[in-house]
Chains A and B, each alone.
Chain A
Amino acid sequence: QVQLVQSGTEVKKPGASVKVSCKASGYTFSSYGISWVRQAPGQGPEWMGWISGYNGKTKYAQKFQGRVTMTMSTSTSTFYMELRSLRSDDTAVYYCARDWDVWGSLFFEYWGQGTLVTVSS
């Protein structure tokens, strides 16, 4: 069965960086892309960007351009999302989510369990 297992809770100070991991299993890693979606308390989800499991090509939401980097390790079937220059309004639960299909349809059946990132001085 498809599983996306994320790293644990993070507490960071403003200006710091955070790197969240997402280990994939139960499907052919290279056939699907992964999106990173965050959800601030009481808010709707917000798409941050996407990385291809095939070649590591990335696509970032304009809001996060220059502040986010998405990478992957094919040897460990793990995706990573690094967000820099953290601010208090980056406090949210961060999810990885797998593309619906191999053609990159950006809606999501499979989600990681979420990683709470709290930014506070």
Chain B
Amino acid sequence: EAGVAQSPRYKIIEKRQSVAFWCNPISGHATLYWYQQILGQGPKLLIQFQNNGVVDDSQLPKDRFSAERLKGVDSTLKIQPAKLEDSAVYLCASSLWTGGRDTQYFGPGTRLTVL
């Protein structure tokens, strides 16, 4: 079974530029998560989707970050405009939705460097 796919793996941009990340979850997984992991920290949830609806975006900086999952499968996360403090690894994860404790499976992440 294929895992969570993410692209690109690495991205370097100047501050104030825009960037987008793509995620393809494991087939059949209804729930998709985007995490931000700053160097030396644990992953922090940015947004959680169930199918194409947002379940939790309380920690998403909505003035510059946006995410969508239009058809309930793939998702994109966008930053516009980027700041230096956005330099981090952006992890996508997916899980089944059983109403219980569903294991989250992570992709390899996109390492973003903002100069």
Q: Does B associate with A?
A: no
* Chain B residues engaging chain A, CB cutoff 8 angstroms: none
* Chain A residues engaging chain B, CB cutoff 8 angstroms: none
